[in-house]
Structure 1
């Protein structure tokens, strides 16, 4: 059993380890194919992860029926013909000897079938009693049994058709799973083999580490510049916004380069600088955001909101609530500052969009004049 390389096979065949040792190499190869077919069928019912343990439970139950491994005379025949085979007692594909494969509980469909067969016998007996009232009881019983056999054969035909349809559906599900897995593997292979979109480095999964660090740095730099411009510029003046943006971007990039040079020296490897730059840019962005919030917390709007919250808490709780009121006021001031900062950032984006639209309109007018 230890020679089996697949953990799924070892789990499924653990209850019959001694029987497995009695098989020769050729028999084991044939049995393994049967095990794989059983696992595929169970995977369509209970899932791939649970299928090995469900098959192990089936083999355990089958061994209990015969009294243990020692009483199995033909290990190969027993495995292929009895141990690994599903024995549904009803049309439900999850049924195995009247037990639900997914819950290990009694199969409710089997119970329903027993109930329906009893009802069928009673109905046929009533019909025969009405039709053969003048016949002797033995003849009526014979007619009841004949009609029951006929109905049973019809039901068996319907059951076989249902099982065949369920088997086809399970096979189709497995094929769909295999196709999806193949597509996912192809997509993952294509993704990992894709060159870097920025520098063209082959097999970089679309973006090499250096370019990824650079993109992250650029994003943080833009956020840091926007924070400075939003707090220092007259957002109603598009020209002033554009000029301050250029100045802040120049200053911020110089600050970033100086910090990276101090961290690694003037002759540092560019790869180390690219790795460090996002951390430095994030620190600059965070510092500017914190400074902007501190400034906005002192704004008239934030102060008024904090005072209003302080007074409301004192009125509601009475004397002795000063500490709680101060805490609530501080939180209100921070919330107001965050709201004002989001408002300023939105106004900055709107100012830039207006400037871009004006520039575009001017370009169209110049083109039409030419």
Structure 2
């Protein structure tokens, strides 16, 4: 039986319906409409064509892919594409799309992936001698034509060609050079050891030692792969243990009772206690603002005394401003937060106003004013604006500097157990 006859036998003849077209006649429904209908039916039944249309799906010949990127990639094998049935074209199309996505993820220019895949298919066809010598188009395309063949460990290598540049793979070049150098050293060693032997004897010894060297290299490579696999597995196990420990710690934190009221499963602090703690933090910041601009930051006793006084005044102010009707106790906490925010904002504004009148702010403003007038003698308005901006910047800087000094002083006081009281 000839190959063309065997190909005809390999594809079953579709049954002819009673009202269908005669043999040789062109069906009324276009191939694109058939393909869309079959894919829709396949989607309804879990992605495969219904069993009743299996023979028809196997036999029909469809046009080129609708995706222009696929058309460019499969252009060199258009003859093989035409020999595929509808179902086979779907499989090849899915494999080609997957390979295009993989190549696009590896390349610096993803738009070059279709042309790269087309070049690969062209090279593979040249290896077999052309499309006419491919007996199984689908198997050849999926198993050989579309598959990347790495000649070395570099993931960008394809048959010794670097993906993206189409140049020789540097890793393959290095490996080949190392092998040639090893063979040259082996020949020189054999010529030195058995200089009087004949060429056939030297060749036999050379081939034997080359086989032994290749075997040793293979054993070492296998050992390296085993070590790498063990290292990867150890890292994965360590990562799994870390994730388990982190999850256990997170669960322990979530299930910890409230440190203030003892409420279980409060992650260490329940919402109500968190709200109260935030109010206290706002009050502490307000006290620090008042102390930073009024106290002598070189005298720990003065800082402690003023802190105690400001803390009491601030707490009294909060209590007075947040008083509510006893019939609405749920509003007490919200009002306290609003009052604490307002106290903090007022203290910051007051501290900046005090620092705006400081000697440092006046000196900076005068310096900027004179500097602007030296550049533009008539720009009095611009000089005043620049001086005012400089005054505000200086006040902000002085406030941050004083807060930092107060923080350092309190740390030293706590270390020295000085009488230091805060809210």
Give the structure 2 partner of residue 267 of structure 1.
327
Mapped contact 1:230–1:348 kept (Cα < 8 A) = yes
C-alpha distance 178-234 of structure 1, shift in aligned 2 (>3 A):
closer
Alignment length (residue pairs): 298
Match of 1:334 among 392, 396, 416: 392
Higher helix share: 1
Match of 1:206 among 263, 268, 277: 268
Give the structure 2 partner of residue 303 of structure 1.
362
Paired residues for 1:135-284 under 5 Å: 135-232=197-294, 245-261=307-323, 265-270=325-330, 272-284=331-343
Q: Deviations over 1:154-205 (max 9, x none)?
A: 1111111111111111111111111111111111111111111111111111
Q: For the residues of structure 2 that align with 1:124 and 1:236, how far apart are their CA atoms?
A: 82
Paired residues for 1:51-70 under 5 Å: none
Mapped contact 1:194–1:202 kept (Cα < 8 A) = yes
SS at the partner of 2:353? Answer: helix
Deviation at 1:89, TM superposition (A): 6.2
Q: For the residues of structure 1 that align with 2:279 and 2:327, how far apart are their CA atoms?
A: 20
Q: Deviations over 1:328-362 (max 9, x none)?
A: 322321233234434554676649977985659xx
Q: Deviations over 1:207-228 (max 9, x none)?
A: 1111111111111112212323
Q: For the residues of structure 2 that align with 1:99 and 1:195, how far apart are their CA atoms?
A: 63
C-alpha distance 141-337 of structure 1, shift in aligned 2 (>3 A):
same
Give the structure 2 partner of residue 125 of structure 1.
187
Deviation at 1:299, TM superposition (A): 2.3
Scaled by the length of structure 2, what TM-score is found?
Answer: 0.55
* More off after superposition, 148-157 vs 293-302: 293-302
Q: Deviations over 1:105-136 (max 9, x none)?
A: 99755543322112122222333344555544
C-alpha distance 148-212 of structure 1, shift in aligned 2 (>3 A):
same
RMSD: 4.9
Q: For the residues of structure 2 that align with 1:112 and 1:237, how far apart are their CA atoms?
A: 73
Mapped contact 1:230–1:344 kept (Cα < 8 A) = yes
Mapped contact 1:196–1:205 kept (Cα < 8 A) = yes
Scaled by the length of structure 1, what TM-score is found?
Answer: 0.62
Q: Deviations over 1:26-63 (max 9, x none)?
A: xxxxxxxxxxxxxxxxxxxxxxxxxxx99x959xx9xx
Larger radius of gyration: 2
SS at the partner of 2:228? Answer: helix
Query: Tell me, which stretches of 5 or more residues in structure 1 are unaligned?
Result: 1-16, 20-52, 73-77, 361-370
Give the structure 1 partner of residue 139 of structure 2.
71
Q: Deviations over 1:72-118 (max 9, x none)?
A: 9xxxxx9xxx9xxxx9866x697998799xx9999755543322112
Q: For the residues of structure 1 that align with 2:251 and 2:195, how far apart are their CA atoms?
A: 78
Highest RCO, 1 vs 2 (Cα 8 Å, sep ≥ 6): 1
Q: For the residues of structure 2 that align with 1:238 and 1:117, how far apart are their CA atoms?
A: 78
Q: For the residues of structure 1 that align with 2:212 and 2:158, how far apart are their CA atoms?
A: 24
Q: For the residues of structure 2 that align with 1:112 and 1:282, how far apart are their CA atoms?
A: 69
Query: Tell me, which stretches of 5 or more residues in structure 2 are unaligned?
Result: 1-45, 49-97, 104-116, 125-133
